[in-house]
Structure 1
Amino acid sequence: MRVDRRSFIIALLITTTLPVRGWAADAPLVAITAIVEHPALDACRDGVIEGLKQQGVAAETTYESAQGQPATAAQIARSFVGMAPAVIVAISTPSAQAAASATKDIPIVFTAVTDPVGAGLVTDLARPGGNVTGLSDLSPLAQHLDLILEISPQVKTLGIPYNPGEANAVTLLRLMTGYANERGIQVVEATASKSADVVAAARSLAGQVDAIYVPTDNTIVSALESLIVVARQAKIPVFSGDTDSVARGCIGSIGFDYFQVGVQTAAIVARVLKGEKPGDLAVEVAQGTDLVLNPTAAAAFGVTIPEAVLSRAAKIVGA
C-alpha cells in the first residue's frame, strides 16, 4: 500500500513528540533536528530513520525543524538536551552548531554539513575528539562549474545567492569563486539572510549575470521556487548544488542522493549507539555523484542541454 509522504511525516511528528517514549521503554532515543524543511534535508532525515532500521537498531526517534531560524535551532538543541537522548542527529551546519553549543556530553552525529572544521564542529576530520562526529556533504564544485560551462559555454559571469550567516554557504562561495576565477569567470554575490530575502537577491542578479548557481545553502534552497520565477522571467539559467533541487526547476546538478546520505549517517549513529565514542570516529564524506538533469526546466530558460550531456545522466526529471 502506498503511504502519502505528507501523512507519514505528520504521523511521525505526532507519535515521536509524545512525552512517553514509544513502543519500547528501553529503546534508545535518537533526537533528530534540521534547520529547515526542504526536499534534500527531508530526504536525509527519512534516510536516517530508514537506515537505523536497516542497521537493526530498535530506536525511538523524535524530530524538530527550526523553520530556518537559528534562534529556534538553539532552543531545539537545549530542549533535546533536557530529553537526554542517546544521540542527537543534527542535519545541516546551523543545527549542528546549535547542538554542539548546547552539550559537550551527549553524542552528536551531524550530517549534510559542508565544512565541519570551518564550522567549528571538529578540529580534526580523522580524529574529531569530544562528543561530535558525522558526515560531510561537500559538493563537487569543480564538476558543477564544468557542467554549467558544458551546457552554457557563453557564461562569463556567475551569480551566487547565499546566506552570509551560514558557515557552509560562505565556504562554498569561497571555493566556487576560486574555481570560477581559474576559468576567467566573474562571480557576483547576492546575499539573503532569510528565506523572505531570496526574491530580492535573485532580482539583484538580473541583468548582471549569465547564469545563477544555487549552492547547498539551506536559506536559498528553502525558497528556491521564488528564485526560479525571477530567473525564468530574466532568462537566466539556474543550476544547483544539490540534485533534489533539479526537479524543482534547476537545469542540472551533480551530487548526492540525500536519502542515501541519511542512510550513511545512520550507520555512524548505530556505531555510537553500540558504544563507540564519537570523538574516535572519523568524519565521513557522502558517497555518490549522480548527474541529474531537467530538460524541461532548461527549455524554460531558453537553454538546450547537449545530447552528449543527456547521455551521461543518471536521472532525467521534469520530462
Structure 2
Amino acid sequence: MADGKFERLPALAAELVQLKVDVIVAVASPAISAAQKATATIPIVMATTGDPVSSGFVKSLARPGGNITGLSNMGGDTGAKDVDLLLSVVPKLARIGVLVSPTSTTYRAISESVKAGAQKAGVKTLVAEVSTPEEIERAFAMMARENVGAVIVGAAPFFSLRRPQLAELAIRYRMPSIFGNRAYVEAGGLMSYGQNYLRAASYVDKIFKGAKPGDLPVEQPITLELVINLKTANALGLTIPQTLLLRADEVIQ
C-alpha cells in the first residue's frame, strides 16, 4: 500500500485512472478514499473496510449505488472468539495483550470487543495503541514486562504493512498471536480468524461479466475462516490441540 506512505495514495490512484484500468481493487479505507476521489466511473472493489456507509463509500450495503462495492468487515465482531481461540492453545492464559492502531477507524471498538470477551473468560487485558514501527517494538517489550501471555492484533491499514515485524516480535517475546486475516499467518503469525479478503476477486469477476458495482450488495462477514501456522507453533513450543486443527480451514505446515 504505497510502501506505507498514505500520502502517495492520491497520486497512485490518479495514475491508475490515467492508465484507464478496468477495475481498481482497494485495500482499507485510505486506499478506497483515494480511489473514490480519483474516479466516479471506473469500478472500485473494496477488499476490506470498516463501515463503508458512514465512510461515504456506498449509499447502503444492499444497494451501494455509484461505482464502489466489495467487502466490509463491519459486524465481524470476533473479540470473544479470539480470546477463546487463544485459550484453546494456552489454557492457563491470565493476561492478553491487545495491539491496536489509531490508523483504523474501528480501533476503539476492537479494544472494547476483546475486553468484553476476556472479562467473560476471566482473563485480564492490556491495550497498547501504536502508530509507528518503533512503537510496535516498545509495545511488545512493555507487554512482556507486564507478563502478557498472548496477543491479539486488531485490524488496521498500518498493521498490514508491518506483518513480518509483528510476527517476528510475537515469536521473539514468546507470545501466541491471533490476527484478523490469513496474510499475517502466512507472514509467520500463529493464527488468524476473520473474513477471507480473497473473496474480493468474485466482485472483479462479476464486474468483468457485466455487473454494475452499484447493483452488487456489499458483503459482510458471514463465514469466517481459521488459519493456523504449525511452524510458528513449533517455534513457540506449543502443541495445537487436534480438535482445533480439525476446525481450521487451513493449516500451514
State whether TM-score is above 0.5. yes
* Alignment partner of 1:220 out of 155, 159, 167: 159
Give 1:150 shift: 1.6
Q: Which residue of 2 aligns with 1:265?
A: 203
> Alpha-carbon deviations, 1:142-197, whole Å to 9, x = none?
43332112222333432222321222555534443443344344432223324454
Change (3 A) 1:206 1:117: farther
Q: Which residue of 2 aligns with 1:161?
A: 99
Q: Distance in 2 between matches of 1:85 and 1:228?
A: 34
Match runs of 1:152-231 below 5 Å: 152-195=90-133, 197-208=135-146, 209-231=148-170
Matched, 1:290 2:225: yes
Structure 1 residue runs without a partner (length 5+): 1-34, 36-65
Matched, 1:248 2:187: yes
> Quick check: which has more Rg, 1 or 2?
1
Q: Which residue of 1 aligns with 2:6?
A: 70
Q: Which residue of 1 aligns with 2:38?
A: 102
What amino acid maps onto 2:189 in structure 1?
Answer: C
Matched, 1:232 2:168: no
What amino acid maps onto 2:27 in structure 1?
Answer: I
Give 1:71 shift: 0.6
Matched, 1:124 2:63: no
Tell me how many residue pairs correspond in the alignment. Answer: 250
> Identity of counterpart residues, as a percentage?
30
* Maintained 8 Å contact 2:166/2:189: no
SS in 1 for 2:69: strand
Q: Which residue of 2 aligns with 1:304?
A: 239
Q: Distance in 2 between matches of 1:275 and 1:254?
A: 30
* Maintained 8 Å contact 1:253/1:291: yes
Structure 2 residue runs without a partner (length 5+): none
Over the aligned positions, Cα root-mean-square deviation in angstroms equals: 2.9
Q: Distance in 2 between matches of 1:105 and 1:170?
A: 34
Change (3 A) 1:87 1:220: closer
* Maintained 8 Å contact 1:135/1:265: no
